[in-house]
Structure 1
């Protein structure tokens, strides 16, 4: 289900319903303009800092690099307690345990697109392939 972006920084946003009564997977697409939004590495570092393991430490980072229709894609995945927000996360009371973020940075000829799919681990595990297919379906 698509919706009106909740921020001017968002190009598009969607919610993919999960099982009845569960939190949906959210899909957000960001575009800041040519040359804007930071490097893939800077974004990966920020996204990783928004996650922690049950002991409060850093989480592993899964990163892959691919070329899709001639464009570089960086695909990263993080699992743990997600304190989503700008900088180093949001307040501790907004932290979401047992979440996954799959982020895709697509470096297009017109500028970099940032795709984020996130939600509870069970729902993201089910929707992971669809989220990745959506990000890779980009036509320059």
Structure 2
């Protein structure tokens, strides 16, 4: 018994060493984020976006995007899906999203909103970018909103043939600005 342990031990140590060597060192190697698929189109999220498990009803996917600089909170990206014909039209949602923001004194919400039409894969989409005071509500019908100054939201309505998907990236302005380039690239990569 001892002889077989003595003979087997070097092999065990060698195997453990190989396993350690084959793992990339922390910070090395390519990390991959979650794969998001929308009606046959897919794109891989950036590795630093943390997927939030246990999404609630109508939340198709949810991610936490790490805070930047002196921001006090992470940004969140939620993809909502209400089914075919659900969730309302593009104009109604753009108006609702604009209503979630208060512009600086002397400006209107239209002054702080940038809207554009684009294609994600072969699907029509509407992209809205807002910066100002975010009127946070813990749930849609909450009677009061908590004003959160210096926030930014990027909303995208992905007009899928099986019903629209609504992307809402919102958080402190510096954090959303930091993640915007990766978010835009992620959208372009849906194929």
Distance in 2 between residues matched to 1:73 and 1:3, nearest whole Å: 24
Aligned to 1:24: 74
Distance in 1 between residues matched to 2:174 and 2:62, nearest whole Å: 20
Say which structure is richer in helix. 2
Say which structure is richer in strand. 1
Distance in 2 between residues matched to 1:98 and 1:47, nearest whole Å: 16
Among candidates 13, 19, 34, match of residue 62 of structure 2: 13
After TM superposition, the runs of 4+ consecutive aligned structure 1 residues lying more than 6 A away are none
Aligned to 2:179: 127
Structure 2 residue runs of 5 or longer lacking an equivalent are 1-49
Among candidates 62, 85, 91, match of residue 144 of structure 2: 91
Say which is worse superposed, 32-41 or 56-65, in terms of deviation.
56-65
TM-score (norm 1): 0.85
Structure 1 residue runs of 5 or longer lacking an equivalent are none
Distance in 1 between residues matched to 2:97 and 2:147, nearest whole Å: 14
Relative distance call for 1:15 and 1:100 in structure 2 (3 A) is: same
Aligned to 1:3: 52
TM-score (norm 2): 0.64
Determine if contact 1:83/1:90 at 8 Å carries over to the other structure. Answer: no
Aligned to 2:15: none
1:91 partner SS: coil
Q: How many positions carry a matched residue from both structures?
A: 137
RMSD: 2.3
Determine if contact 2:69/2:174 at 8 Å carries over to the other structure. Answer: no
